[in-house]
Amino acid sequence: MNRLSEFMLPPQRSTIAEGTDALFNFITVTSVILLIGITIAIIYFAWKYRRRSENDVTPVITHNNFLEITWSVIPLILVLIVFGWGLSGYVNLTTPPDDAYEIRVVGKSWLWEFHYETGHVSVNELHVPVNRPVKLVMISDDVLHSFYIPDYRVKMDVLPNRYTSLWFEATEVGESVIFCTEYCGSAHSNMLATAFVHPQEDFETWLEIAGSADDDMDPVELGEQLVTRNACNTCHSSDGSRLQGPSFLELFGAERVMEDGEVVTADENYIRESILEPNARITRGYQPVMPSYAGTLNDRQIDAIIEYIKTLQ
């Protein structure tokens, strides 16, 4: 069974992965056995009861109690096994331990925000301790998303105006990919993040220094990193190519025509407003799909992004 899991599924990196894979393997093996059995039966009966001459007459068959009970009871038993097994796993997945470390998750088009108890916010990077339960309380800022970590075997829809949650306990240090598995717009396939699993002491150290490494960086260099770190480059190119949003190339100081016909100059105030209130004014030809970064970026980070955009002339 383990070899079957390794062949068909990603690595098991959480405490619930083994149980989930066991149910998956049971369904797979049972389905294969039924497929082989039914196929053999079809071939056998097709050969045994084939027409041997033009005078063959198909006999009238009413019913067979034994066969009818057999092909009704066996599937019923299998369905009940799968239902009970799945229900047990569902109850476990929806009942986090009392000592779980809680992280708030916000889904936006097209990124994931992770809010920690210290107040730090990371974008597209989930940092968790190894061998400790972690509870994610999730909500969407715009449309329906779905949070999925294949290595941990956890998946949950992320809804606007409503909280959903899931929990897991990572069993090994390393990195795992996070997907959005609900189509959420033209850049849905770019809505990726990474889960970083640390030893407990390293995780606590990371919480203490998270964000402080930016303090001594040059504003332009910091701005360039923030554009990548916060997935701005998913919608805004730096080479003039058209994506979901206007390109940063030659943006600063340029005149922009809004949807209502207003002409504005892309100065510091305009860029700041676009970061914090992106739907206040929409550039003509683009859709109002950008999420707000209010509460995600502080003033220094916003200033750094502006300084970086100024260099793209």
DSSP 290: P
8 Å CB contact between 152 and 13: yes
Bond from prior residue into 110 cis (ω within 30 degrees of 0): yes
Nearest to residue 232, comparing CAs of 217, 246, 212? 246
CATH code reported for the domain at 2-48+62-93: 1.10.287
- How many other C-beta atoms are found inside a 10 Å radius of the C-beta of residue 304? 24
- How many other C-beta atoms are found inside a 10 Å radius of the C-beta of residue 238? 17
CATH code reported for the domain at 101-210: 2.60.40.420
| pLDDT score at 248 | 87
Place of tokens 């504003």: 219
Write out the E strands in 132-238: 134-140, 145-149, 154-158, 164-168, 174-180, 193-198
Phi first, then psi, for residue 74 (nearest 5°) are: -60, -50
Task: Write down the domain spans for the chain.
Answer: 2-48+62-93, 101-210, 216-311
Q: Structure pTM?
A: 0.73
Convert the pLDDT of each residue in 77-127 to its tens digit. Answer: 999 999 999 999 888 888 899 889 999 999 988 889 999 988 888 889 999
Place of tokens 């079809």: 42
| pLDDT score at 3 | 65
Q: What is the mean pLDDT of the chain?
A: 87
Q: Are strands 111-115 and 101-108 parallel, antiparallel or unpaired?
A: antiparallel
| pLDDT score at 2 | 61
Topology of domain 216-311 in CATH is: Cytochrome Bc1 Complex; Chain D, domain 2 (1.10.760)
Convert the pLDDT of each residue in 166-178 to its tens digit. Answer: 999 999 999 999 9
User: Residue 1 pLDDT more than 60?
Assistant: no
| pLDDT score at 212 | 64
Q: How many CA atoms lie within 13 A of 48 on its CB side?
A: 6
Token pair in block for residue 120: 């730090």
- How many other C-beta atoms are found inside a 10 Å radius of the C-beta of residue 7? 7
| pLDDT score at 135 | 94
